[in-house]
Amino acid sequence: MKIAFIGMGNMAQALARGFIKADLLQGKDMTAFAPNQDKLRQNAAAIGFVPCGEPKVAIREAEIVFAACKPYQMEKVFAPLKSALKGKTLVSVASGWTFAKLHELLGDEVQLQYILPNTPAAVCKGVTIVESAHSVSAERRREVFALLAGVGQVVELPANIMSAASSVTGCGPAFAAMIIEGLADGAVKNGVPRAQAYELVAGMLIGAASLQLETGMHPGVLKDGVCSPGGTTIKGVAALEEAGLRAALIRAVDASLN
Ligand SMILES: NC(=O)c1ccc[n+]([C@@H]2O[C@H](COP(=O)([O-])OP(=O)(O)OC[C@H]3O[C@@H](n4cnc5c(N)ncnc54)[C@H](OP(=O)(O)O)[C@@H]3O)[C@@H](O)[C@H]2O)c1
């Protein structure tokens, strides 16, 4: 399979790295266009995809084209490519470009799918939200799902809750990185070397998240399981409550969504 990226920034690079890491594609199977050609060539050398000087050249051989420029650029970038995209599948990662909007722009002759991936796709630990409405053939959609499943979890949702869900999955890696940084700062403050602090905190978060995911247990029950009466953990939990951790996280999701 040949795929193309129009726009090769953080999100597209994460997907390309993930597809290679998951052994789904080789660099030579992926073409990409972005206006800053020096940057594109540097990223191509680092990741292995084929850099192209024109969007039309990038999509020529591709069966699946990822639209990965900024949402406000979609119309300007893709309206001129409408005939070149005929018969191909356009998978848009641009926030807010739902199937209905894509269809208004590109009509019936391009197979259209809106998805919202996240940057941990680079290490095959992504979460991708896929809109339930689409105009992709059954066989091609299986191929798209197989690609996305190779780089993490895939969850199908209706358009009306995709933005809210993506405020957690798409923006969440930044929130999680801040939590890693904060906990590691606490460890460093108390004498743990910086590099080891990151390793310990990130490993702990993977473990805590895996425990929740695999057991399906309520997060409150998992918390209670670590808090012995009068012990050290409940003192930390009380400090987090005082600092308003949960309210802050809810506000972060609201702020991203709005
Ligand atoms: N980052 C995430 O975690 C995430 C998650 C879900 C969805 N998304 C979506 O992914 C899309 C890209 O986000 P990003 O974070 O990857 O942004 P980014 O790093 O700023 O990348 C944007 C890309 O678009 C390219 N571009 C600019 N003008 C263009 C044009 N006229 N034609 C083609 N490409 C053009 C840029 O190229 P130059 O660098 O050469 O200017 C760059 O490669 C957005 O629509 C966003 O909503 C991102």
Mean model confidence pLDDT for the chain: 97
| Res. 206 pLDDT band, cuts 50 70 90 | very high
| Res. 39 pLDDT band, cuts 50 70 90 | very high
Q: How far apart are CA 84 and CA 92, in angstroms?
A: 16
Q: Closest ligand 1 atom to the C-alpha of 13?
A: 16
pLDDT value at residue 37: 98
Fold of 3-158: Rossmann fold (3.40.50)
Report the half-sphere exposure of 52 (CA within 13 A, side-chain side): 21
Instruction: List the residue whose alpha carbon is closest to atom 40 of ligand 1.
Output: 36
CATH architecture type of domain 172-257: Orthogonal Bundle (1.10)
Question: 102 and 148 in contact (C-beta within 8 Å)?
Answer: no
Question: 117 and 165 in contact (C-beta within 8 Å)?
Answer: no
- 46-87, pLDDT tens digit by residue? 999 999 999 999 999 999 999 999 999 999 999 999 999 999
Q: What is the dihedral of CA 11, 14, 20, 24, to 10 degrees?
A: -50
- 101-152, pLDDT tens digit by residue? 999 999 999 999 999 999 999 999 999 999 999 999 999 999 999 999 999 9
**Which of the listed residues 8, 11, 47, 77 should we mutate to test ligand 1's pocket, taking the one with most ligand atoms within 8 A of CB?**
11
pLDDT value at residue 30: 98
Ligand 1: residues with CB < 6 A are: 6-12, 33-36, 39, 68-71, 73, 77, 93-95, 116-119, 170
pLDDT value at residue 196: 98
CA of 40 to the centre of ligand 1 (A): 12
CA of 6 to the centre of ligand 1 (A): 9
Q: Closest ligand 1 atom to the C-alpha of 173?
A: 3
- pTM for the model stands at 0.94
Instruction: List the residue whose alpha carbon is closest to atom 45 of ligand 1.
Output: 94
Mean pLDDT calculated for residue range 84-91: 97
pLDDT value at residue 131: 98
Instruction: List the residue whose alpha carbon is closest to atom 31 of ligand 1.
Output: 77
Q: Which residues contact 204 (CB under 8 A, 6 or more apart)?
A: 183
- 234-244, pLDDT tens digit by residue? 999 999 999 99
